[in-house]
Amino acid sequence: MTNCLRFALTPGEPAGIGPDLCLLLATQRQAHALICIASSALLKARAVELGLTISLIETAPGNWPQQPAPAGSLYVWDTPLGQPVTTGKLDKANAAYVLQTLTRAGQGCLDGDFAGLITAPVHKGIINDAGIAFSGHTEFLADLTHTEQVVMMLATHGLRVALVTTHLPLKEVADAITEERLQRVTRILHADLRDKFGIAAPRILVCGLNPHAGEGGHLGREEIDIIEPALQRLRGEGIDLIGPLPADTLFTPKHLEHCDAVLAMYHDQGLPVLKYKGFGAAVNVTLGLPIVRTSVDHGTALDLAGSGRIDCGSLQVALETAYEMAQGSRKLQATSHK
């Protein structure tokens, strides 16, 4: 299969549902070769719990597959656990294992072994309990790839929402909205929509910060003093921006059908709409990295691990999005080399 690419798949917290998701995906043939970077012993034990018959095909650097695994099988780059896993029970002895899977995957992308990385959820708390400073996948991969600025974007079918600020208390959001930050985030969003999604001329809708986008300054001046000047400078660079628009009316068909992404000022301005539209079928995308990285939009669900009562819809969308981004990047490279 000449168009087959390789992607790294990390199962995240070993006691959670990540290993279950990887095994469930393996019941069907995928469009590209997925390399699950995980403990083979963990996957075998979890398959027994789930009543699944999955053939694990060992692979490693120097022996990469050239085609997707058959349905009912999974490529595995065996990565040893610190301790055997009890399903549903966290163990800080396996924190280093989780980070080793991410390091192998991220470095493999940098080295060109993988076209992208798809991550299942980790448990930040247990990694910190092990004495390892860890604030999340995004920050870890930014450090690994020496990336100064990344942007969080969630996507589902028909809607992409990127964030100017992410996990901040609401009282700190207004002070964090600066012209510099807004310009930096918008440039990254525009560049990745073009370079990784293959959108030649992205159109971005921008939310205002205040109700009614400030209502001409009567409900706040951030739109007048900060947001609009930043957008004007960016328009001068050729970026197609509409806004700032009131967030309560921006998320309507007449606006969304003519845009490629929405830029929201803060977490709970844009993501509730997206999660309502795509609950269970949304994906978290890290923009700004030199590699393709997508992730599920849910947590480790320790109580569901090993139960079989899970839906791998979000992981499937994460896979499809990673495929789309990798192929968009390749098309751009091919065009630039002509």
Q: What are the strands of the beta sheet with 116-119, ordered from one edge? A: 55-58, 73-78, 33-38, 6-10, 116-119, 293-296, 283-287, 151-156, 159-163, 261-264, 203-207, 240-245
Tens of pLDDT, residues 26-83? 999 999 999 999 999 999 999 999 999 999 999 999 999 999 999 999 999 999 999 9
Query: Residue ranges for the binding site for a divalent metal cation?
Result: 167, 212, 267
How much is the pLDDT for 1? 43
Domains of the chain: 1-147+291-337 (3.40.718.10), 149-288 (3.40.718.10)
Residue ranges for the known binding site for substrate are: 137-138, 275, 284, 293
Could you list the residues known to form a binding site, using ranges.
137-138, 167, 212, 267, 275, 284, 293
Tokens of 97: 């294992």
pLDDT average, residue stretch 212-217: 95
Euclidean distance between CA atoms 178 and 227, whole angstroms: 8
Q: What does the alpha-carbon distance between residue 45 and residue 196 come to, in Å, rounded to a whole number? A: 37
Q: Provide the pLDDT confidence category of residue 300 given band limits of 50, 70 and 90.
A: very high
Q: Establish whether the linkage from the previous residue to 244 is cis, with ω within 30° of 0.
A: yes
**Predicted pLDDT of residue 330:** 65
Across 128-132, average pLDDT: 95
Q: Chain-centre distance of CA 148, in angstroms?
A: 17
The 10s digit of each residue's pLDDT in 74-121 is 999 999 999 999 999 999 999 999 999 999 999 999 999 999 999 999
How many percent of the chain have pLDDT more than 90?
A: 88
Tell me how far apart the alpha carbons of residues 5 and 90 are, in angstroms, rounded to a whole number.
Answer: 34
Decide if 130 contacts 92 (C-beta within 8 A).
Answer: yes
CA distance 79 to 40: 7
Q: pLDDT tens across 275-291, in order?
A: 999 888 899 999 999 99
Q: At what angle do helices 228-235 and 179-195 cross, to 10 degrees?
A: 40
